[in-house]
């Protein structure tokens, strides 16, 4: 039956519409097993019931048919998460007759759960008129098919292409991308031509297509400058960096050159645009780093904007004259910028993720956002919706009781936001006076206005690799000097920690592709640059020259796993310093640090203390390596847990060792910007946290309203716990007791 199994999976996988795919599944499976009935039910945890989604053999007219988890054989399969195979269904104690199904003619019953990452997504059932038990081969066949179907369903959910609530339910779940609560009418984006709609086409008038593309680029540049000017002053420059990126790319001779070459081959402007944008986008999609991978969406958005201007001379107009909840297929920064902020209550996107620039911009604007929500296209405009940007829940046409509840939460939310704003410029310290240093993680730009407004004391992590990835060649030393100089100048008098080039393996450069079977453990970080000392020396010299008369540079070395790598790096840094000093005698030595992300370095702190000035902990990669899990692999992403007991104990071990050897230490991973993570880290004794700009105000407020002594006791309690879920729950209860529950859920208290 292996060929039949393969055929069914291939047929189902080829169907884009998930409902049609389920229909194909039941029809193909019914034929393959030579049975009379095959049915797929999918679980809805919100209502604790299974929904009939597709059947070959039961009475089904498309209306919602549901079975409570607590009832019937199908419910038993869901609850037990095990197959049930019986010859006569009616004789089983769990059997319940559902007249609307028309299943009384069937006796044999084989049901198996659809399980993905330990979660039962639904149940597949085979039924037959004859009273017989299905064979072991048939049962194994169905179990295997169910496992394959689980992957397809889970993938569709993650992509926002499937939703059980289309069958009449009103509570949807997505990815919480920007905190906050909103209630209001839905506004839906008009469907326009998308880049993936463009088909191969040629032209006989190359000059006309080239002129068309040139005009398009100029119109887009004008539009991006207008959008940036419109938002400038309302939000920080880090969030506005997307428009700088677009302007940079459109002015880049390489992008223009690639488009020109493609058109000169005879392709139409539309088709050339799609090919080049997809090629640029795919470079980022291949990267495992979530922040960098989601830059692929930024590139696609640029392509969509250019496609619009290929067919329209004027910028798009939105007919919005009242506050609305914006529902779109894919949220873009340009859409957010085009809608008047006074009319923007919240956004819901069927695609997207938390690190997209649209999500970053949403957070900067203070607009609640939920991504990856499979909201049906049949949900009409002006339908009332509730958005919970904390839990990722979206309620469509909710009952009055839920509206009243969220009305109260919304009022509390506004009050809490006002309190955070009032504290933003106050000192970063706990309630009992323990000072905590807050720093910024910077990506495409470093916005000094955040430091002024939020009281941060510098940049804890500046990613230099982004400028390398965006180019078609290695940036020259002069280009790097200008870039680093701008960042150091923006934070004059404050520390700026610049991480050296962190590429290789999964983050390959477009002009130096790298193919590896296991990129996480491969040629990346310092391993790559040590094998290319010329690249390393150019970058270090550029940093040193940029720091002259500014004297606020610190250099951070990524992916160090042994002392030999560190010694080799320090030797090259010394060489670069000597070369620069010959030309610029007043150059000063920067502080040198190591990024702790490889577990081996946890045990080499005494040696590090003799060689470097500080260490910075990259909790994202350290957690992955400690737990042996790729958090971007959906099959095992649930194993990734930032407050895993082993991770917390490793962080405590590292801190104690650094304090023992007088080695300054800071945290620059996502854990520092999470309220639960921040209170645990400060309770351990960490005094320097670096985070994204969107998290600074909230983390500062939380820390200013808790006593350090209480955080120390919390840390002692957590260190004795064995499960991540227990730790999460305990920390949330602690925040509730301190009157800070609004930082982990909707509401104020």
φ, ψ of residue 121 in degrees (nearest 5): -85, -20
Q: What is the structure's pLDDT at 400?
A: 82
Helix (H) or strand (E) holding 85, with range, is strand 84-86
| Ranges 45-49, 284-288, 362-366, 416-420, most confident | 416-420
* For range 407-431, the mean pLDDT: 86
Q: What is the structure's pLDDT at 238?
A: 54
Helix (H/G/I), strand (E/B), else coil: 480? helix
Binned at pLDDT 50, 70 and 90, residue 359 comes out as confident
Binned at pLDDT 50, 70 and 90, residue 544 comes out as very high
The upper half-sphere exposure of residue 453, i.e. CA atoms within 13 Å in the direction of its Cβ, equals 17
SS (H, E, C) 486-506: HHHHHCCCCEEEEECCCCECC
DSSP single-letter state for residue 277? H
Please indicate whether residue 223 or residue 652 has the higher confidence score (pLDDT): 652
φ, ψ of residue 740 in degrees (nearest 5): -120, 25
- CATH code: domain 2-168 is 3.30.450.40
* Model pTM above 0.75: no
Q: How many whole angstroms separate alpha carbon 116 and alpha carbon 127?
A: 24
Q: How many whole angstroms separate alpha carbon 271 and alpha carbon 338?
A: 27
* Of 491, 435, 499, the residue nearest 464 (C-alpha): 499
* Of 334, 341, 319, the residue nearest 221 (C-alpha): 334
* Of 434, 497, 435, 500, the residue nearest 465 (C-alpha): 500
Could you report the per-residue pLDDT of 131-141, keeping only the tens digit for each?
999 999 999 99
Q: Please indicate whether the domains covering 2-168 and 430-627+654-708 agree at the CATH topology level.
A: no
Binned at pLDDT 50, 70 and 90, residue 355 comes out as low
Could you report the per-residue pLDDT of 422-441, keeping only the tens digit for each?
888 889 999 999 999 999 88
Q: Where are the domains of the chain?
A: 2-168, 170-402, 430-627+654-708
Buried b (16+ CB within 10 A) or exposed e, 416-429: bbeebeebbeeebe
Q: How many whole angstroms separate alpha carbon 336 and alpha carbon 133?
A: 58
Please indicate whether residue 324 or residue 364 has the higher confidence score (pLDDT): 324
Helix (H/G/I), strand (E/B), else coil: 119? strand
Q: Is the pLDDT of residue 162 over 60?
A: no
* For range 676-690, the mean pLDDT: 97
Multiple choice CATH, 170-402, 1.10.274.10, 3.10.180.10, 2.40.10.10, 3.90.180.10: 1.10.274.10
Q: What is the structure's pLDDT at 169?
A: 41
How far apart, in Å, are the Cα atoms of 243 and each of 228, 444, 461, 507? 6, 11, 22, 23
φ, ψ of residue 371 in degrees (nearest 5): -110, 165
* Of 458, 390, 463, 461, the residue nearest 428 (C-alpha): 458
* For range 629-646, the mean pLDDT: 74
**Chain centroid to CA 489:** 31
Q: What is the structure's pLDDT at 434?
A: 96
- CATH code: domain 430-627+654-708 is 3.20.20.60
Q: Which residue has the tokens 């009103």?
A: 170
- Comparing 11-25, 361-375, 410-424, 447-461, which segment has the lowest mean pLDDT? 447-461
* Of 252, 304, 275, 273, the residue nearest 210 (C-alpha): 273
SS (H, E, C) 629-673: CCCCCCCCHHHCCCCCHHHHHHHHHHHHHHHHCCCCEEECCHHHH
Helix (H/G/I), strand (E/B), else coil: 368? coil
* Of 181, 187, 87, 183, the residue nearest 128 (C-alpha): 87
DSSP string, 495-543: EEEEEPP--BTTB-BTTB----S-GGGSS-THHHHHH-HHHHHHHHHHH
Q: How many whole angstroms separate alpha carbon 29 and alpha carbon 382?
A: 41
Binned at pLDDT 50, 70 and 90, residue 168 comes out as very low
Q: What is the structure's pLDDT at 521?
A: 65
Q: What is the structure's pLDDT at 329?
A: 79
Q: Is the pLDDT of residue 166 over 50?
A: no
181, with CB counted inside 10 A (0-12, 13-18, 19+), is buried
Q: Is the pLDDT of residue 448 over 60?
A: no
Could you report the per-residue pLDDT of 691-723, keeping only the tens digit for each?
877 788 889 999 999 999 999 999 999 999 999
* For range 732-748, the mean pLDDT: 83
Q: What is the structure's pLDDT at 172?
A: 81
Q: Is the dihedral angle over the CA atoms 594, 595, 601, 603 positive or is it negative? A: positive
* For range 567-586, the mean pLDDT: 96
> Helix %, strand %, coil % for the chain, to 5?
50, 20, 35
Could you report the per-residue pLDDT of 176-224, keeping only the tens digit for each?
888 888 999 998 876 566 788 888 988 888 999 999 899 999 888 888 8
| Cβ atoms 175, 353 nearer than 8 A | yes
Catalytic residues: 357, 668
| Cβ atoms 615, 663 nearer than 8 A | yes
Binned at pLDDT 50, 70 and 90, residue 600 comes out as very high
How far apart, in Å, are the Cα atoms of 679 and each of 580, 702, 712, 730? 43, 8, 9, 12
Q: What is the structure's pLDDT at 55?
A: 92
Average pLDDT, the chain: 85
User: For strand 324-330 and strand 344-351, is the pairing parallel, antiparallel, or unpaired?
Assistant: parallel
Q: What is the structure's pLDDT at 232?
A: 63
Please indicate whether residue 624 or residue 703 has the higher confidence score (pLDDT): 703
Q: Dihedral of the CA atoms 282, 284, 288, 291 (nearest 10)?
A: -140
Could you report the per-residue pLDDT of 224-235, keeping only the tens digit for each?
887 777 666 555
| Cβ atoms 114, 123 nearer than 8 A | yes
Q: What is the structure's pLDDT at 47?
A: 67
Name 375's Cβ contacts closer than 8 Å, sequence gap at least 6.
160, 163, 172, 327, 348, 350, 394, 396
Q: Is the pLDDT of residue 541 over 80?
A: yes
Q: How many whole angstroms separate alpha carbon 303 and alpha carbon 288?
A: 23
Q: Is the pLDDT of residue 615 over 70?
A: yes
* Of 374, 347, 382, 377, the residue nearest 362 (C-alpha): 347
Binned at pLDDT 50, 70 and 90, residue 466 comes out as confident
- Comparing 61-70, 442-451, 498-507, which segment has the lowest mean pLDDT? 442-451
Q: Is the pLDDT of residue 149 over 70?
A: yes
* For range 560-578, the mean pLDDT: 96
Q: What is the structure's pLDDT at 84?
A: 95
| Percent of residues, the chain, with pLDDT higher than 90 | 44
């Amino acid at each position: 039956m292996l060929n039949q199994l393969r055929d069914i999976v291939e047929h189902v996988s080829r169907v884009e519409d998930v409902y049609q795919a389920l229909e194909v599944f039941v029809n193909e499976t019914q034929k393959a097993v030579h049975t009379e009935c095959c049915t797929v039910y999918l679980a809805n945890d919100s209502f604790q019931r299974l929904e009939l989604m597709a059947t070959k053999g039961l009475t089904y007219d498309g209306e919602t048919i549901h079975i409570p988890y607590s009832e019937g054989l199908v419910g038993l399969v869901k609850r037990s998460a095990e197959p049930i195979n019986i010859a006569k269904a009616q004789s089983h104690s769990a059997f319940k007759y559902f007249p609307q199904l028309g299943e009384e003619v069937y006796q044999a019953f084989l049901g198996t759960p659809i399980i993905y990452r330990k979660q039962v997504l639904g149940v597949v059932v085979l039924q037959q008129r004859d009273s017989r038990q299905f064979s072991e081969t048939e049962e194994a066949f169905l179990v295997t098919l169910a496992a394959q179907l689980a992957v397809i369903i889970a993938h569709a959910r993650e992509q926002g292409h499937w939703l059980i609530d289309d069958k009449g339910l009103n509570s949807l779940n997505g990815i919480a991308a920007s905190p906050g609560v909103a209630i209001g009418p839905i506004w839906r984006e008009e469907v326009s031509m998308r880049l993936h709609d463009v088909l191969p086409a040629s032209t006989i008038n190359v000059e006309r297509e080239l002129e068309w593309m040139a005009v398009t680029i100029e119109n887009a540049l004008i539009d991006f400058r207008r959008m940036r000017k419109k938002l400038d002053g309302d939000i920080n420059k880090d969030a506005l960096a997307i428009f700088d990126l677009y302007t940079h790319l459109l002015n880049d001779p390489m992008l223009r050159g690639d488009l020109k070459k493609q058109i000169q081959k005879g392709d139409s402007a539309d088709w050339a645009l799609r090919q080049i944008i997809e090629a640029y986008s795919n470079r980022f999609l291949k990267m495992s780093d979530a922040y960098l991978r989601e830059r692929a969406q930024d590139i696609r958005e640029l392509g969509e904007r250019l496609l619009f201007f290929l067919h329209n001379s004027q910028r798009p107009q939105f007919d919005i004259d009242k506050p609305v909840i914006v529902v779109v297929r894919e949220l873009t920064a340009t859409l957010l910028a085009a809608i008047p902020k006074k009319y923007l209550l919240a956004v819901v996107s069927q695609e997207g993720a938390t690190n997209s620039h649209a999500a970053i911009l949403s957070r900067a604007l203070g607009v609640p956002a939920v991504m990856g929500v499979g909201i049906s296209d049949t949900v009409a405009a002006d339908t009332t919706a509730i958005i919970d940007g904390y839990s990722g829940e979206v309620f469509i046409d909710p009952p009055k009781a839920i509206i009243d509840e969220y009305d109260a939460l919304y009022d509390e939310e506004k009050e809490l936001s006002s309190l955070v704003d009032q504290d933003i410029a106050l000192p970063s310290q706990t309630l009992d006076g323990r000072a905590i240093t807050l720093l910024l993680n910077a990506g495409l730009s470093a916005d000094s206005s955040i430091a002024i407004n939020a009281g941060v004391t510098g940049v804890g992590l500046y990613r230099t690799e982004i400028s390398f990835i965006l180019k078609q060649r290695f940036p020259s030393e002069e280009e790097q000097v200008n870039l680093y100089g701008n960042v150091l100048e923006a934070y004059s008098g404050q520390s700026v920690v610049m991480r050296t080039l962190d590429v290789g393996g999964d983050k390959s450069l477009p002009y130096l592709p790298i193919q590896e079977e296991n990129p996480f453990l491969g040629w990346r970080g310092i391993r790559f640059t040590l094998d290319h000392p010329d690249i390393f020396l150019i970058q270090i010299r550029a940093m040193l020259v940029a720091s002259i008369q500014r004297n606020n540079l610190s250099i951070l070395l990524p992916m160090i796993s042994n002392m030999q790598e560190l010694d080799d790096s320090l030797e090259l840094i010394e060489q670069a310093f000597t070369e620069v000093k010959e030309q610029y005698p007043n150059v000063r030595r920067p502080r040198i640090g190591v990024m702790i992300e490889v577990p081996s370095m946890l045990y080499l702190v005494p040696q590090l203390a003799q060689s470097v000035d500080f260490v910075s902990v990259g909790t994202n990669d350290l957690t992955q390596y400690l737990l042996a899990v790729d958090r971007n692999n959906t099959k095992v992403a649930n194993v990734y847990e930032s407050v895993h007991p082993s991770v917390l104990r490793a962080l405590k071990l590292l801190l104690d060792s650094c304090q023992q050897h007088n080695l300054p230490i800071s945290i620059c991973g996502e854990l520092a910007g999470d309220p639960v993570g921040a209170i645990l880290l400060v309770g351990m004794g960490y005094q320097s946290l670096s985070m994204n700009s969107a998290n600074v105000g909230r983390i500062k407020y939380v820390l200013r309203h808790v006593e350090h002594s209480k955080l120390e006791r919390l840390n002692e309690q957590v260190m004795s716990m064995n499960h991540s879920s227990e730790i999460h729950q305990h920390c949330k209860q602690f925040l509730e007791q301190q009157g800070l529950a609004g930082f982990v859920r909707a509401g104020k208290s």
